[in-house]
Structure 1
Amino acid sequence: MTASRTRGVLFDLDGTLIDSGRAIVAAYRHAFEHGRGVPLPAPLEDPHVLMAPRPHEIFTTWSDGDADELVALYSEHYLDTAHRQVVAYPAAVRTLEELDRRGVVTGIVTNKSRSRMLLDLEWVGIDTSLLRCIITADDSVERKPDPTPVLLGLSRAGLVPESSWYVGDGPQDVLAGRAAGVRTAGAGYGYYGAAALEPHRPDLMLDGPEDVLSVLSPSRD
């Protein structure tokens, strides 16, 4: 695929455009401490363990309490307080703005809930008008590595796989993108790291969000 044929770039969110690890861990810690009176299980202190599963699955697996109650505590704390620990990766906002300037369609495809995702974008200063599509856990029962969310993003953004890329930091992102028929770029700077992505053979490995600009060189032609 040549750079001039690139018409769209879809992004994962957590670990790709934003670093929300501390916020997510803090929200889970709050739910366990206030909902069950126990500390957050040690393995869950690692943000990447928390990224692919949905909160209900985490609480069902790691607690014998009412998972719905714990999800509510988690969401409430994230929306009220924890989101303030979210930061955008350096150059993430500028990269989206530059892609838009060059006429490249962009969007987000994430396993995260819409309410938390929109709050994150507002907090870090990512303008949703730059995004042709936003696909969240609220839009699809299936989630990455299933290709359905990526395919839904392509459809809503008016893109075709042959001229599109999906950028994500986890193996599930590479697998979902490949299954959807798009080129894949691994965000080696994210939670999983390049070593975890390399066995899944993304088409590109990025050291930062801005590498999309220099490697893909998207243009209007």
Structure 2
Amino acid sequence: MPRYPHILFDLDGTLIDSAPAILASFRDAFAQTGIAPARTIDDSVIGPPLNETLQLLAGSDDPALIARLAEAFKASYDSEGYKATAAYPGVGELLATLAGAGLTLSIATNKRLHPTRLILDHLGWGGYFAQVYALDLFTPRLPNKAAMIARLLADQDIAREDAVYIGDRSEDGESADANGLPFVAVTWGYGSLNADEMRPGWQAAAQPAALAALLLAD
């Protein structure tokens, strides 16, 4: 019997390579609004929530400006942009294997809920996940990933010793730590943690097959 019956996943950089689609829609948002980005729009900005990333790219936290950019981004990404999202090789097989073993899979992502569901359906993964949590799932919006994981565990009555969180960034590991969950860092995504960033107790998996073996171990 696997040690963790509940597997919680990050999405961007963990299960999917969403960078090309996201970056294209960021560039489109700045072009459509006529606002000049304050820094290069590249892979380094992938991961944080939308408004946080737009503030970084715009070099401003002006609410009206960020709102304009956010609406332009959503119009681009939620219509056609998200369709350029690709699954990392082997991830579809990973999810099928874990679900087939009777494990309960959930998503806990900084991505907005609407495009998250669009992408899962686009990739044919909607049936794999019992729960899909995003920061904007609730009103008021959840403040961060640690709070989102805590809410998921509480809502679904999941004991901490029965769950593990899988992600690709240090924020993911820190959010797992904040909830007393073990953390596995995947090293195939753009947020890959290097050896210096790994903390005591964190584990790493270099390929989906290796992650499956780790999660299915007794």
TM-score scaled by length of structure 1: 0.86
Q: What's 2:4 paired with?
A: 6
Deviates more, 1:3-12 or 1:165-174: 3-12
Q: Per-residue deviation at 1:203?
A: 2.5
Q: Please state if 1:22 is matched with 2:24.
A: no
Contact 1:104 1:218 in 2 (8 A): no
- Which stretch shifts more, 163-172 or 93-102? 93-102
- Structure 1 alignment gaps of length 5 or more: none
Task: Give aligned-pair identity as a percent.
Answer: 25
| 1:172-211 to 2 correspondences below 5 Å | 172-195=171-194, 198-201=197-200, 203-211=202-210
* Contact in 2 for aligned 1:169/1:192 (Cα 8 Å): yes
C-alpha spacing 1:91/1:60, structure 2 compared with 1 (3 Å):
same
- Segments of structure 2 that go 5 or more residues without pairing to the other structure are none
What is the CA deviation profile of residues 3-37 of structure 1, one whole-angstrom value per residue up to 9, with x for unaligned ones?
Answer: 63321110000000110001110110001111125
Q: Which residue of 1 aligns with 2:41?
A: 44
Aligned partners of 1:132 and 1:201: how far apart in 2?
Answer: 30
1:76 shift after superposition:
0.7
Residues 193, 36 of structure 1: alpha-carbon distance in 2 compared, 3 angstrom cutoff: same
Amino acid corresponding to residue 44 of structure 1 in structure 2: I
- 2:144 match: 143
Contact 1:171–1:196 (CA<8 Å) still a contact in 2?
no
Compute the displacement of 1:56 (Å): 2.0
- Aligned length, in residue pairs: 211
C-alpha spacing 1:88/1:197, structure 2 compared with 1 (3 Å): farther
What is the CA deviation profile of residues 123-162 of structure 1, one whole-angstrom value per residue up to 9, with x for unaligned ones? 2221x23212111021342213xx2111222234442111
| SS of 2:173 mapped into structure 1 | helix
Distance, in Å, in 1 between the alignment partners of 2:207 and 2:201 is 15
Aligned amino acid, residue 17 of structure 1: L
- Distance in 1 of aligned mates of 2:213 and 2:121: 27
Aligned residue runs from structure 1 range 53-68, under 5 A: 54-63=49-58, 66-68=65-67
AA at the equivalent of 1:143: N
